[in-house]
Structure 1
Amino acid sequence: MKQNRRNFLKKLGATGAVAALGDMAFSQESLAQQTLARSEGSSENDQPIRLALIGAGIMGTEDTNSALRHANVQLVAVCDLYSGRLESAKKRWGDHLFTTKDHIDLLKRKDIDAVIIATPDHWHKQISIDALNAGKHVYCEKPMVHSVREGMEVVNAWKKSGKVMVVGSQGVSSLGNEKAKQLLAEGAIGDLVYAEGFWARMSPEGAWQYNIPTDGNEQTVDWKRYISNTNNRVWDPMRFFRWRNYLDYGTGMSGDLFVHLFSSLHFITNSMGPNKISAMGGLRYWKDGREVPDVLLGTFDYPDSKEHKGFNLSLRCNFVDGTSGTTYLRIVGTKGSMDVKWEEVVVKMNQTGASDDPFLQEQARLRGDTESRAKILPPKELVYSAERSWKGAHYDHFGNWFQAIRTGGTVAEDPVFGFRAAAPALLCNDSYFQNKFINWDPVNMKLI
């Protein structure tokens, strides 16, 4: 059936294919929706998933709230190095919580099945490995690792553990990405030749100017543990509460935002990644002592592979932009393009050829060429939008993880996928700071 449908679309041609696909909008069940339907329809007698949070900042809180929207999920413990967040966690989720500043104490508990890791990036690798070795399922925020040298350590620990690990680039579970993946596979825009992505943030908090609490000091923060796996420094509240600004702890704009675009692109195209990476940028506005640029441009060369023909990618990001948070991924093919957001896909077809041009057809008619009568043209642009009832990519990403835990299944973004998305983002920083092209083997996941 699927093969006959694909042949039918090819016979229609690219523009006709898009028109034919128009009735298969987001109301059609996506892969994530089908998974969630099975999960949400489960019996109340299903064994609950007992969850712990490691890193209770902005993202950790959002992750946990998304997780707890699912049935049969319980939060039993929270770990953070700042006592203020532990106190807030009990107020938000209940006094029953076990709280600690030592993730090892948390991982020893037998009443924990799975953990969310939402710490600064420099702790992702070690806590993921510790959790897997302790027999816990893992949800780790992107970019999974702090450098490409750490990637295979996490991959190998995951494979050895037999546990379910998912990386938190939530767009992989979005309706927009799933629709774009379907359309590309059906040949709606022809062969992929180019892609570009853009991410802008304008608010101070969006530029990592996170709030520094008045009680944030060496008595309330375990600073020594925080810096124990990196350079030794005296207490600095900026480096703890605004950690993304510093290379010891964060991964810059590329590790925070480019990795989302890589994750979406790789999901849609089935790509393993680029083999050549370059980046330029600068510190243009936020001159507040940060070590990473606030404007970053990246270019990437994707080689021919069995998954797709070779293409090029350009990404750009800035923290001072009047578009106030605009983000998109544009995928360009030989017959058209797609603008992809998590909740929407806009398909735009190339201009029609001379044989389909209404003006030329009318001129032919005036000349007496009656065989060139004008035709009804299919639409050159179609917009696919998610239904209002959709609960969002964040919700679906957790649903995918919970279902895999309960059934022994797989997730959309396992550590291999997560590393292949993180690597080119992290190598952007290397290219920028080393002022050179970086060569990468996306299949074997290693530097060349």
Structure 2
Amino acid sequence: MATKEKSISSSVRGGTITARTGSKGVTKYQARFERDGKQVSETFRSEEEAAIFLADNAKKAENNEPIVSSSIKKLTFEKIFTDYIENNELFKELNEKGKVKRYGSLGVAKAIRDEIGSVPLSKFNSSNLEKYINAKRNSYIKVPKRNKKSHKNFNAEKIKINGVDYYNKKLTEGTVRKYYYEIKKGLMWHAKKHNYAFDNSPFFVVPAPTAWESPKERRLEPGEFERLIDGCDGLYRNKEQTKLLIKFLVLSCFRVGETLKIKWKDFYDGAKGREKDPSSSFILIPKANQKGSHKKGIKDRKAAIRPELYKLITEELIHYKKSDEDLMFPFWPSGPSYFYTRFKAICVRMKIDKLTVHDLRHEAISTLYELYGGRMTDIQISSITGHVELDTLKRYANLRPSSIGQVLWS
């Protein structure tokens, strides 16, 4: 016998209830709500439940709250993040090349899928988000399979938990922050792709972890720069090139990742330009090469350079140039990771403790404030360093240029 349908009137604008009686005489009530392009439907056993469903969604629509269908709510994080990982344009090239960094966006997205994949979207709320973030704060760093053996340059203490090797070190607040924002990005991406409302409320209730537990204070101590340069002589290859990169980082204030992407065509030599003035020189750092390039406020930046850096480029680094399309530093084709390893080896050899590649940027920015901060605004300094949030620069100094190049060269 065919299913019988009967429409039931509803006082809710945009709401309809349809009673469906099947061949076994069981009646179910489908409630459908549609208003302002938003549509959601669900089937109930009673007319009263269907009416409550319509009233709840009408209230959400009036309060501009998210309206999500029951079929979407049933989706698990595994399905949502598998879709996000496999079909997100930002990940396609990385997936094809098999390049997954443990704490890069793709690596974090895969970890989220594996760790909370069974959780349905209906169970994602501020309480569960907070529990997950706190659990990550208390997580130890797992020892990668390839790192089972100790290394002379990295002998962190290891512990076993349930038979698994971990470093005796918990995830940093900055790393936990990546998990927080990757959850948000993945859910936003999925909602946009499948045309349903993204519920942002858990992220309003649970604050994002801070970028760092405390400001980075490590500066180069007297004689350490010279020891770093001397330590390059112990390398097997690229000795002089490594010296140049260390000098470049200490003078430029750039991140090492964006530095290794600089091409010779990105360097504008003011002495050879229409100004005939080296103080108008700059290096172009395209938006795509900057950290957080997807974030609002990130733009191509033309970073003015100090006279010492100009001299380094035009008198020393220039000897390695072959064409404008060449990278300034083509010596590490695998990217920053290889240079990080070489830098660590130099520090171990020269007995320099607790110094990282990123500390060279910190040293450069601190020196910039010390030498020119009194004549430069934070905005002008950020045009060199690439900071989007000016509050971050306050940890260096609260000092205050007209023409940036002229100030650097005066």
TM-score range, shorter chain: under 0.3
Return the index of the structure with the highest Cα Rg: 2
Flag the structure with more relative contact order, 1 or 2, with Cα contacts below 8 A and sequence separation at least 6: 1
The answer to which structure has the higher strand fraction is 1
Instruction: Compute the TM-score of the two structures, normalised by the length of structure 2.
Output: 0.24
Instruction: Compute the TM-score of the two structures, normalised by the length of structure 1.
Output: 0.22
